[in-house]
Amino acid sequence: MGLFGTQPKQEPVSAAPFEEEPFDELPTLPKANNNTVIAKGITFTGVIRGEGNVQVEGRLEGEIDLNGGVTVAPSGMVKGPITADAVRVAGDVEGSITARDHLCLERTGGIHGDVATASLIVENGRLDGSSTMLTPPAGRKRDSDISVQGLQFGPDFELEGQDT
């Protein structure tokens, strides 16, 4: 420290030059989940089409047409037809359901309409309508690439032939 509180002069500091590292390709981004949730307290009116999984915890008034799965939670309500690979109903559906692979009606669920599916599981739910059994889609195994675990079946549900 110099006289009268002045700072001594400092020498300029030189930094090492920055060298950018070359790279061959950009890193890949993680694959996006194709999951859609209609939350409790939300009302959606319209048509849902595409690929992925839809979970209805609120109210949907319209049509669902998916390559994937549909879950209607105990708090969920769907007014309109549903067409998907796999469907799980624990809430209420007013409309027809076509499940190309399998349909599970849980004990808290109710379907007011006709159903068509290759595999039907009913856990004491209510079905007001007729059921038609479909032939499983050609080229698809019974245990298809549809994620059964992702459909969140009831706590006591076990799929035959699968280890848990």
Q: What is d(CA 28, CA 6) in angstroms, rounded to the nearest whole number?
A: 55
Range with the largest mean pLDDT of 7-21, 58-72, 125-139: 58-72
Q: pLDDT digit string (tens) for 85-123?
A: 999 999 999 999 999 999 999 999 999 999 999 999 998
User: Which positions ≥6 away from 146 have C-beta within 8 Å?
Assistant: 68, 69, 85, 86, 101, 102
pTM of the model: 0.67
Q: What is d(CA 124, CA 121) in angstroms, rounded to the nearest whole number?
A: 9
For residues 94, 92, 130, 84, the Cα torsion angle rounded to the nearest 10 degrees is 80
Q: Measure CA 33 to chain center.
A: 8
Q: pLDDT digit string (tens) for 131-144?
A: 999 988 776 554 44
User: Which pLDDT score, from 0 to 100, does residue 143 have?
Assistant: 45
